[in-house]
Amino acid sequence: MKITIVGTGYVGLVTGACLAEIGNDVFCLDVDPRKTEILNNGGVPIHEPGLEEMLRRTRAAGRIQFSTDVKASVEHGEIQFIAVGTPPDEDGSADLQYVLAAARNIGKYSNGFKVIVDKSTVPVGTALQVRRVVEEELKARGLEGSEKHGFSVVSNPEFLKEGAAIEDFMRPDRIVIGIDDDRAGARAGEKMMRLYMPFNRNHERTLYMDVRSAEFTKYAANAMLATRISFMNDLSNLANTVGADIESVRRGIGPDPRIGYHFLYAGCGYGGSCFPKDVQALVQTARENGHQLRVLEAVEAVNEDQKEVLVRKIVKRMGEDLRDRTFALWGLAFKPQTDDMREASSRRIAQSLLARGATVRAYDPVAMQEAERVLALDLADRPDDMKRLHLVGTQHEALKGGDALVIVTEWKEFKSPDFGLLKSELKMPVIFDGRNLYEPEAMAELGIDYYAIGRPHVEFDNNADRIV
């Protein structure tokens, strides 16, 4: 099938590559000529495991192309995926200007029946707005009501995890498709069924529903996952106060099939391109419709507070004035296996430490280039703080001359470091762990002063030769 993807961010690029991988003829459109040039020259503008290799194969086979030619992109695809950004507006609602601009172009250049697929995460009712924009353009061309230039707007939300997006697309746990109950919708449904047929050979994964329910499903899924994270983070702070171990609690509730283990890890807050903006957007949708989502308002508030938990632990241990302190910071991306810095907890933590006069030496295995760009923007009006931020080339280089280590992202290479080298490089063997990578008792036996999230602070009594 001939497919057009509008937007080559995480969702668009992964969708295009995977659909080309299974044999479709894919045209990827982006308005950014720099990004298109990178892709045409064999590069990949984002870090996603397996994506570079897949693009290399599909490019070599001639099944995927990249262009800024809007007219050519519309004329190419019988199915038009809109996979552009929907950043949060000032009030937290999703900004649909890029979605509607893509829809306008489809109406302006349509050369036949089009299935217009909202792949971007969009609020309930967006499909109707897309329909109206396309109809306006067709009417301006004198093609309103034309059988040949008919169209249907479909909701097909993505459920991709950054760092595992290829696997999620190629082996989905479900495929949600929202279609209209009319003749055009039936025609669109047939095309979508054919497109996704290769993913349903072992068992049927596709769930068909009305468009508004499909739009809502995406927000509901992300809101539920964000809720689980904030729930455990809230409990972790109480666990610290009452002397419980949140890891023991997690293992105690996880075996219950009604609860499960997923997204129950306490940490220093969630980030990324989805959870923060989607929770905000759903809360705003509720307000616009006269409702209050009190649980999700609390989820957002807990997450904002959680990004300061490590800083509070540092201040309690070392004092409010950190002008003579240097901190090694391991992990900048919001999660492992990505270079995405959007809403990353590291940004808040670094800014808070710098604001107190500290020096920060930071390292991330993948996100250094993106971190340099983003942190420069964050600190644009704080030049003195920027001078005390050093992005270094290795995790060990970050340790040199540090008073303590701060762990923010749970990259695999941070899970079993050389603790002897770590102790020799740091002025004091102190670790503030925002991802609970190590066991408190083991750290105490190594002589490391270890502070985790929702876990007891354990010390080793050398005189008694035992943990206290």
Enzyme catalytic residues? 274
DSSP reduced 3-state for 219: helix
Q: How many helices (H) and strands (E) does the chain have?
A: 19, 16
Q: How far is CA 226 from the centre of its chain?
A: 12
- Where b means 16+ CB within 10 Å and e means fewer, 310-346 reads bbebbbeebeeebeebbbbbbbbbbbbbbbbbbbbbb
* DSSP-derived pairing of the beta strands 175-178 and 206-209: parallel
- Give me the helices (H) in 244-394, please: 246-253, 275-288, 294-306, 309-318, 345-355, 368-378, 383-387
Running DSSP on this structure, what letter comes out for residue 337?
Answer: T
Side by side, the strands of the sheet bearing 206-209 are 64-67, 25-29, 2-6, 79-82, 114-118, 151-155, 175-178, 206-209
230 forms bridges with which residues in the sheet?
none
Rounded CA-CA distance 448/224 in Å is 37
Helix (H) or strand (E) segment spanning residue 4: strand 2-6
Exposed, middle or buried, 299 (CB in 10 Å: 0-12/13-18/19+)? buried
268 within 8 A of 309, measured Cβ to Cβ = yes
Contact 219, 122 (CB under 8 A): no
Phi, psi of 178 (to 5 degrees): -105, 125
